[in-house]
Amino acid sequence: MPRIRKLAGLSVLLLLAVISADASTLTGRVRIIGRKSGAAAVQIIVYAERLDGGSQVQPDEYRIVQRDKAFSPRVLAVPVGSTITFPNEDPISHNVFSLTRPPFDLGLYRAGAAKSRVFGRTGTFWIFCNIHPQMAAAVLVVRTSHIAEADAAGNFRLDLPGGRYLVTAWSERSRPFSAEITVGAASETIDLMLDETKYIDVPHKNKFGSDYPRAAYENKD
């Protein structure tokens, strides 16, 4: 028996060696155009979907915390099938709902409580609190686990096994921008662009599809 275990361990090591020899680093920069003057920067996500077969999706567990009447992180990208838990770390009650299809409502819950939701469909899901209109989060659900967040200058890095990929840049203010790339033994670079020209900031609706009461916008509990 010990001998079999030893052999199994050896084969795992060999497999890892093969994968790392075939892996490469994709770096690049996302350029923003059309930003309105005075508009703050927003998070930029870059993800790579494999085009030549093979599943690259490993669902995982994530958290978006409710703290100081805000969702943190405000933007989260996850592989399809992942579970997101929403703990309430404020001393007051919050709600979590989305009108993005399929809509859901986790109800109102107290300080210290947490509720979860499985994201089984790809797309961008807007998450809000029905009490506090300033609370907003975007969940980007993608068919890959190769996900990176660009830094403030737009630079990103993804470590990818060799193959053909569709690389997409995403932000809440732009249409996604995609480009194909073949990743081989050498490192590759790619430049992507997000256009904010058509972005308009519109107040979102509450969970009933109506405007929030005016009092909700005042800084009260």
Which of 23-31, 127-135, 152-160, 179-187 is the region at the interface with Cu ion (rule: CB under 5 A)? 127-135
For residue 53, what are the CA distances in angstroms to 5, 13, 26, 43, 196?
Answer: 31, 24, 19, 29, 33
For residue 105, what are the CA distances in angstroms to 100, 111, 133, 193?
Answer: 11, 17, 15, 35
> 91 or 209: whose CB is closer to Cu ion?
91
Residue 132 found at the interface with Cu ion (CB under 5 A): yes
Residue 181 found at the interface with Cu ion (CB under 5 A): no
CB 189 within 8 A of CB 181: no
Residue 117 found at the interface with Cu ion (CB under 5 A): no
Distance CA 134, CA 183 (A): 41
Which of 9-17, 44-52, 124-132, 202-210 is the region at the interface with Cu ion (rule: CB under 5 A)? 124-132
Residue 94 found at the interface with Cu ion (CB under 5 A): yes
> 104 or 177: whose CB is closer to Cu ion?
104
Residue 64 found at the interface with Cu ion (CB under 5 A): no
Quote the Cα angle for 196-201-204, to 5°. Answer: 135
Which of 103-111, 129-137, 144-152, 164-172 is the region at the interface with Cu ion (rule: CB under 5 A)? 129-137
CB 111 within 8 A of CB 88: yes
Q: Which of 69, 103, 74, 60 is nearest to 88 (CA)?
A: 69
Q: Which of 148, 146, 177, 149 is nearest to 161 (CA)?
A: 146
Distance CA 29, CA 47 (A): 13
Total interface residues for Cu ion by CB under 5 A: 5
Task: Name the residue with the smallest CB distance to Cu ion.
Answer: 129
> 15 or 92: whose CB is closer to Cu ion?
92
Closest distance of CB 95 from Cu ion, Å: 6
Residue 131 found at the interface with Cu ion (CB under 5 A): yes
Closest distance of CB 61 from Cu ion, Å: 23
Residues engaged in binding Cu ion (CB under 5 A): 94, 129, 131-132, 135
